[in-house]
């Protein structure tokens, strides 16, 4: 499907959201991802295609993605993304993925995000807030520093408490500090055997947490994982 770029919004110093209009109606479920193809001159070895979770809600007028733009050395794809002009065209395939809400409304849910891994949860919580569907959800969101915290307004609007954990907090930070680990997560929440734990973020972080949570009594069947490749950490 063809998409037309509309505009972008800087969310933080190094994270932006990009908004697109699909040429025909496009249906997806909150939490799913798409593959974007962005033709550009002299693509680097990572090429012209990327997967992105849609950070928008399925009932938003536009589709959006939210991504990190490395200030020192971005891929040619991300550089081309930041140079898009209104109405520029690109290709999209999808939607794909099962990082979506379970059918049973009462299932207790724990959402764990590292950095830009917050994107699927933004989509899901925006969707729940607009449809007024209620679910038992806890959110743990880890970032390197306070400047990288995204979407707090959406969480407030959804009336969703979020435990934010900051790795390198400023002296004035009054919340949780540290890095994501099973110990930290299970110290903040007590998942039941029925709980589903959704984990989203850079691949090394998600893989490490998967092992760590299983070593701490969480069953594989309780884990729903979304890996973002090519990010060393969050």
Ligand X SMILES: Cc1cc2nc3c(=O)[nH]c(=O)nc-3n(C[C@H](O)[C@H](O)[C@H](O)COP(=O)(O)OP(=O)(O)OC[C@H]3O[C@@H](n4cnc5c(N)ncnc54)[C@H](O)[C@@H]3O)c2cc1C
Interacting residues toward ligand X by CB under 6 A: 33, 44-46, 50-53, 65-68, 70, 73-75, 77-78, 97, 116, 119, 226, 228-231
Q: Which is nearer to ligand X, 8 or 53 (CB)?
A: 53
Q: How many residues comprise the chain?
A: 234
CB of 15: closest distance to ligand X in angstroms?
A: 8
CB of 234: closest distance to ligand X in angstroms?
A: 11
Q: Which is nearer to ligand X, 65 or 197 (CB)?
A: 65
Rounded Cα–Cα distance for residues 182 and 94 (Å): 33
CB of 13: closest distance to ligand X in angstroms?
A: 14
Q: Which two tokens stand for residue 152?
A: 């707090």
Q: Which is nearer to ligand X, 53 or 222 (CB)?
A: 53
CB of 158: closest distance to ligand X in angstroms?
A: 19
**Which secondary structure element, helix H or strand E, spans residue 142, and what is its range?**
strand 137-143
DSSP 4-51: EEEEEEE-SSSEEEEEEEESS-----TT-EEEEE---SS--TT-SEEE
Q: Which two tokens stand for residue 117?
A: 């891994």
Beta strand pairing status for 89-96 and 2-10?
antiparallel
Rounded Cα–Cα distance for residues 96 and 108 (Å): 24
CB of 216: closest distance to ligand X in angstroms?
A: 25
Rounded Cα–Cα distance for residues 123 and 229 (Å): 20
CB of 139: closest distance to ligand X in angstroms?
A: 16
Q: Which is nearer to ligand X, 32 or 222 (CB)?
A: 32
Closest by Cα among 145, 75, 146, 133 to 101: 133
Rounded Cα–Cα distance for residues 149 and 141 (Å): 9
Q: Which is nearer to ligand X, 74 or 195 (CB)?
A: 74
Neighbours of 173 (CB within 10 A): 13
Q: Which is nearer to ligand X, 28 or 184 (CB)?
A: 28
CB of 188: closest distance to ligand X in angstroms?
A: 24
Q: Which is nearer to ligand X, 1 or 105 (CB)?
A: 1
């Amino acid at each position: 499907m063809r998409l037309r770029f509309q505009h972008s919004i800087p969310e933080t110093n190094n994270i932006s959201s990009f908004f697109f209009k699909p040429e025909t109606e496009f249906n997806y479920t909150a939490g799913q991802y798409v593959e974007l193809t962005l033709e550009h001159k002299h693509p680097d070895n990572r090429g012209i295609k990327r997967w992105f979770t849609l950070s928008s809600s399925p009932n938003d007028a536009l589709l959006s993605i939210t991504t990190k733009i490395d200030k020192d050395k971005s891929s040619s794809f991300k550089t081309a993304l930041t140079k898009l002009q209104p109405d520029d065209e690109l290709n999209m395939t999808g939607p794909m993925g099962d990082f979506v809400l379970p059918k049973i409304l009462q299932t207790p849910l724990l959402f764990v995000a590292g950095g830009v891994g917050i994107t699927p949860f933004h989509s899901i919580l925006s969707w729940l807030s607009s449809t007024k569907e209620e679910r038992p959800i806890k959110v743990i969101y880890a970032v390197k520093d306070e400047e990288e915290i995204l979407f707090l307004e959406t969480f407030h609007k959804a009336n969703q408490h979020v435990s934010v954990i900051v790795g390198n907090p400023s002296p004035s930070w009054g919340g949780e500090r540290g890095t994501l680990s099973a110990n930290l997560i299970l110290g903040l929440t007590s998942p039941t055997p029925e709980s589903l734990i959704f984990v989203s973020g850079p691949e090394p972080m998600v893989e490490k947490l998967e092992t760590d949570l299983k070593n701490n009594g969480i069953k594989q069947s309780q884990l729903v994982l979304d890996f973002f490749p090519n990010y060393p950490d969050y």
